[in-house]
Amino acid sequence: MPTPAIKICGISTPDALDAAIAARADYAGFVFFARSPRNVMPAQAAALSARAEGRIARVGLFVDAGDAQIAEALAAAPLDVLQLHGAETPERAAQVRARFGLAVWKALPIASAADVARANAYAGAVERVLFDAKTPKGALPGGMGLSFDWSLVAHWKGPLAWGLAGGLNPDNVGEALARTGAPLIDTSSGVESAPGIKDTGRIAAFARAIRETAAASH
């Protein structure tokens, strides 16, 4: 199995960003969602974006954001990908992509095969779907360390690129990769010591576990 792309999300400090780069992660995620313990303010995002430029791709995470909020974030902090983690429809996702001219990823909450099937509607509207666990009503829509039944997306062959998220950490990511063959793996709370506090050792261990699993499959 090829080594999947790795995304470390919820980065809010230079140390965490440097750890993701040192671990050879492909994507660093910055959360623009006020309710999140990982939320970054525009000035903070600007510094992180500049530090990341040319070293790791920058993903901005938004939850049902309007154009004005996304434009404000982009004015402060150039981003390479916009991750939509709310209830955005295929039409809204396509609108965001056209308006900002950036790659768009749509996170989908998964608890059943019917939830996975919803991904098909995003073909042509976004570059990638991210399968994440469904979270309880009223809770954050992600970043909760919850996983779902990986067999629902095992070796998914859909009409667009995809990634696996939700409750992944250094201890379970090898099994998740072996069981799903996901081409991109995303984590946030699984590489933290407390909500919003990234642990550089866990970031390194996460990437190592992924590479060891991929290498062992050859």
Q: Is 61 in the site for ligand LGQLAAA5 (CB under 6 A)?
A: yes
* Among the residue ranges 41-49, 71-79, 112-120, 184-192, the one whose residues contact ligand LGQLAAA5 (CB under 6 A): 184-192
* Residue-by-residue DSSP string for 46-63: HHHHHHHTTTSEEEEEES
Place of tokens 């660093």: 28
Q: What are phi and psi of 65, to 5 degrees?
A: -80, 145
* Among the residue ranges 41-49, 70-78, 95-103, 139-147, the one whose residues contact ligand LGQLAAA5 (CB under 6 A): 139-147
Applying the rule CB under 6 A, the residues between 9 and 48 that interact with ligand LGQLAAA5 are 9-10, 29, 31, 33, 36, 38
CA separation for the pair 168, 185 (Å, rounded): 8
Q: Is 4 in the site for ligand LGQLAAA5 (CB under 6 A)?
A: no
Note the Cα 150 to chain centre separation in Å.
Answer: 17
Binding ligand LGQLAAA5 (rule: CB under 6 A), the pick from 140, 176, 177, 210 is 140
Q: Is 167 in the site for ligand LGQLAAA5 (CB under 6 A)?
A: yes
* Residue-by-residue DSSP string for 149-177: -GGGGTT---SSEEEE-SS--TTTHHHHH
Region for residue 145 given its phi and psi (left: phi exceeds 0; alpha: psi -120 to 50; beta: otherwise): left
Q: Is 204 in the site for ligand LGQLAAA5 (CB under 6 A)?
A: no
Residues touching ligand LGQLAAA5, count (CB under 6 A): 29
Question: Closest Cα partner for 122 from 82, 92, 102?
Answer: 92
Q: Closer to ligand LGQLAAA5 at the Cβ: 60 or 125? A: 60
Q: Is 187 in the site for ligand LGQLAAA5 (CB under 6 A)?
A: yes
168 close to 186: Cβ distance less than 8 angstroms: yes
Binding ligand LGQLAAA5 (rule: CB under 6 A), the pick from 60, 166, 170, 174 is 166
Q: How far is the CB of 169 from ligand LGQLAAA5 (least distance, A)?
A: 8
Residue 84 β-bridge partners? 62, 106
Q: Closer to ligand LGQLAAA5 at the Cβ: 125 or 133? A: 133
CA separation for the pair 145, 147 (Å, rounded): 7
CA separation for the pair 125, 104 (Å, rounded): 8
In the complex, which residues of this chain contact ligand LGQLAAA5 (CB under 6 A)? 9-10, 29, 31, 33, 36, 38, 61, 63, 85, 107, 130, 132, 140-146, 165-168, 186-190
